[in-house]
Chains A and B, each alone.
Chain A
């Protein structure tokens, strides 16, 4: 995976320039969101355009005020990805279901709907669901 140039066959034979990574697992219970964020950052470093869509418990990746004592801080990874150019959308229905308000998420998070995800899927060369 590492070492490819932009559009040089990342995760497939076709030319890939933009990926959408859907994160549906929350931080600190399983390793999935952490692994997803490592994938996101690596793709950014490799020069791909990266969209991150948070849904289900994955919305907590963008929740402010995380302060894990024993784990790598998912919020710091997410913010790092945003600084590196990742775009971030969060499922509004998933937030409502969990009682999470927009102001509890980082400012870069755009609250959106399934249409927002479909739009990104349509625009992306690959969509990865983690």
Chain B
């Protein structure tokens, strides 16, 4: 999946993955896609819930070699 921006939050303690994701989305323009890489299933779920709650769209989640990539389209 093509992304306009990427951040890697592997190794970050909760709640930093959510905060860093939210910070990045705030810098982006409406419609752009962010790829977030995390290595912790709970962070994956927290990020998905948090960005959905804030009105963004989760386009998909992939898993590879123990890492997850979450694709988020910025809304608003």
Contact = CB atoms under 8 A, between A and B. Distances in A.
A120 to B, nearest CB: 22
Contacts, number: 28
B: interface residue count bin: 10 to 19
A127 interface: no
B15 A45 contact: yes
Nearest to B49: A3
B19 A2 contact: no
A64 interface: no
A42 B42 CA distance: 13
B42 A2 contact: yes
B45 A3 contact: yes
B18 to A, nearest CB: 6
Nearest to B15: A42
A45 B16 CA distance: 10
Interface in B1-18: 13-16, 18
28 contacts: A2-B14, A2-B15, A2-B18, A2-B42, A2-B45, A2-B46, A2-B49, A2-B50, A3-B45, A3-B46, A3-B49, A5-B53, A38-B13, A38-B14, A38-B15, A41-B15, A41-B16, A41-B19, A42-B14, A42-B15, A45-B15, A45-B18, A45-B19, A45-B22, A45-B50, A72-B13, A80-B19, A84-B19
